[in-house]
Amino acid sequence: MKKFKFSNSTAKITMIAILLLVMLIPISLISNLIYDRKSYQREAVTSITEPLGGQTEIQGFVIGVPYKNYKETVDTNGNKNIETETKYIIFAPDFYNLDFSVEPYYLNRGIFKVPVFKGVVKVDASFNNFDYSVFDIPEKYIDKKNAVLILGLSNTKNLITEPKLNLNEKDLSVSPIKYDDISPFNTSIYYNLNYVNLNEKLILSGTINFQGGENILVRPIASENIFKMSSSWTSPSFSGGWLPTERNISDNGFFATWNIAGLSTVYPKSWLGENIFKSETIQISFMVPVDSYKKTERSVKYALLFLIIPFIALLIAEIFSKTKIHIVQYCLIGFADIIFYLLLLSISEHISFDLTYLICAISVCCLTLFYASAIFKKFKWGTLLSSVQLVSYIFLYGTLQAEDYALLIGSIGLFVVVALLMFITRKIDWYGLSQSE
């Protein structure tokens, strides 16, 4: 039985294929390094924003009105007992207007620059028509004199000063008693309303000075909700359950308005205190617009493809120049390409991603130019290989910028590469090449 023998050219192609698979190891290590750097960045962001209360969420204002609930029980001896407990009816505002003015600034932790903010929100809300009949509770059981106003927040660390609120032009003071078992919010501040006449319309106004980082969330809770926000931040992100009905973003900042009907929220006009609702919010994000880690991570996903192209170009140059290139030389050119991604990761932490990409691409292309010129002993082959690499980097950069069309661009690019390879190698006699070696 005859043994199958690889030709020299077949062996070379096989070794290049194996080398490409080996190159997946350092590519994987760079991917892990990107993940680690993102984790360090996240830790830096948390260490800065956590003392400020993290993201700021204004969860809303409600009024809780207590009532006596009588429950009849029977003990083991058959005796009937009447137990009394205090429960609450929760009333949401009829009208709810919040006007935010936000001032962003940066804090540094090591090499990481984190955007945070402070601001003030003007509150204007009204409560009317306290209707208890829908709950079938006798009016004599309702204790209108001990009602409480509840302000809901995500974290009291978000407060710079104590909220200044007044109801029907009378200043409110914080209650020393907490009613956390009745509050529909995560964290609450309570105000006693023992002097308030619940038979008349109540108008709530005031200001809240707040601080935080990354996001501002607002929960629509009233029958009619109007939220406004203005800031000098030039790259906001709007998300959540509702988008702005109006927005204006410019180089000087942004202004946005939300008009949200109560029928589109989960909150009714009033409910019993034991009921819990999972509500959506509007969200405004104050984030750095260009995340170098994200772009570097996306570029590494294309690393294998952009290793194949220089290797193919090097192999074709070897065939046409009739210069034998050792597999170690392939390996060095491959490592130069991989170092591109490591440089991209490290330098982009200090300067802009676009400038980093330009520096790294030119550096690696110049390195390839001089090295390929030396191993082929002709400058034209070095120019050819460095040009192929430069075109690859330009193509990769365009793919990174057009995120929505990355798949389309990549597919067309691959088709063009295959078409060029077929055209360039159409007259090569691969069998004859093997016999001549």
Better-scored residue on pLDDT, 336 or 316? 336
Residue 311's pLDDT band, with cuts at 50, 70 and 90, is confident
Q: Which of 272, 200, 289 is CA-nearest to residue 237?
A: 289
- What value does the mean pLDDT take over residues 389-400? 83
Please check whether residue 58 is in contact with residue 185, taking contact to mean a CB–CB distance below 8 angstroms.
no
Q: Which element (helix H / strand E) includes 91?
A: strand 80-91
Q: What is the pLDDT of residue 5?
A: 41
Q: Which element (helix H / strand E) includes 59?
A: strand 56-74
Better-scored residue on pLDDT, 360 or 17? 360
Instruction: Indicate whether 159 pLDDT > 50.
Output: yes
Residue 271 forms beta bridges with which residues?
A: 90
Contacts of 383 (CB under 8 A, 6+ apart): 369, 373
Better-scored residue on pLDDT, 414 or 226? 226
pTM: 0.75
Q: What is the pLDDT of residue 93?
A: 94
Model pLDDT for residues 272-306, shown as the tens digit of each residue? 887 778 889 999 998 765 578 888 888 888 888 77
Across 123-132, 136-145, 154-163, least confident range: 136-145
Q: How far apart are CA 227 and CA 46, in angstroms?
A: 28
Tokens of 153: 């927040």
Residue 1's pLDDT band, with cuts at 50, 70 and 90, is very low
DSSP per-residue string spanning 246-291: EEEEETTEEEEEEEEEGGGSS--SEEETT-------EEEE---S--
Instruction: Indicate whether 2 pLDDT > 70.
Output: no
Model pLDDT for residues 81-137, shown as the tens digit of each residue? 667 778 888 999 999 999 999 999 988 887 888 889 999 999 999 998 788 878 888
Q: How far apart are CA 249 and CA 231, in angstroms?
A: 10
Q: How far apart are CA 205 and CA 123, in angstroms?
A: 5
Instruction: Return the percentage of the chain with pLDDT > 70, whole number.
Output: 88
Contacts of 291 (CB under 8 A, 6+ apart): none
Average pLDDT value over all residues in the chain: 84
- What value does the mean pLDDT take over residues 349-368? 89
Instruction: Return the percentage of the chain with pLDDT > 90, whole number.
Output: 29
Across 112-121, 178-187, 417-426, least confident range: 417-426
The topology under which CATH files domain 54-285 is Immunoglobulin-like (2.60.40)
Q: Which of 433, 228, 418, 328 is CA-nearest to residue 19?
A: 328
Across 62-76, 380-394, 423-437, least confident range: 423-437
DSSP per-residue string spanning 14-51: HHHHHHHHHHHHHHHHHHHHHHHHHHHHHHHHHHHHGG
Residue with tokens 């993201």: 55
Q: What is the pLDDT of residue 181?
A: 77
> Where are the domains positioned within the chain?
8-42+292-436, 54-285
Q: How far apart are CA 232 and CA 101, in angstroms?
A: 9
Please state the φ and ψ torsions of residue 270, each to the nearest 5 degrees: -155, 160
- What value does the mean pLDDT take over residues 249-269? 92
Model pLDDT for residues 191-240, shown as the tens digit of each residue? 988 878 888 889 999 999 999 988 999 999 999 999 999 999 988 989 99
DSSP per-residue string spanning 305-336: HHHHHHHHHHHHHHHHHT----HHHHHHHHHH
Across 38-42, 319-323, 385-389, least confident range: 319-323
Strand positions, DSSP E, 110-155: 112-127, 148-153
Amino acid at 100: F
Residue 427's pLDDT band, with cuts at 50, 70 and 90, is low
Q: Which element (helix H / strand E) includes 104?
A: strand 95-109
Tokens of 97: 């207007």
Q: How far apart are CA 378 and CA 380, in angstroms?
A: 6
Instruction: Indicate whether 8 pLDDT > 70.
Output: no
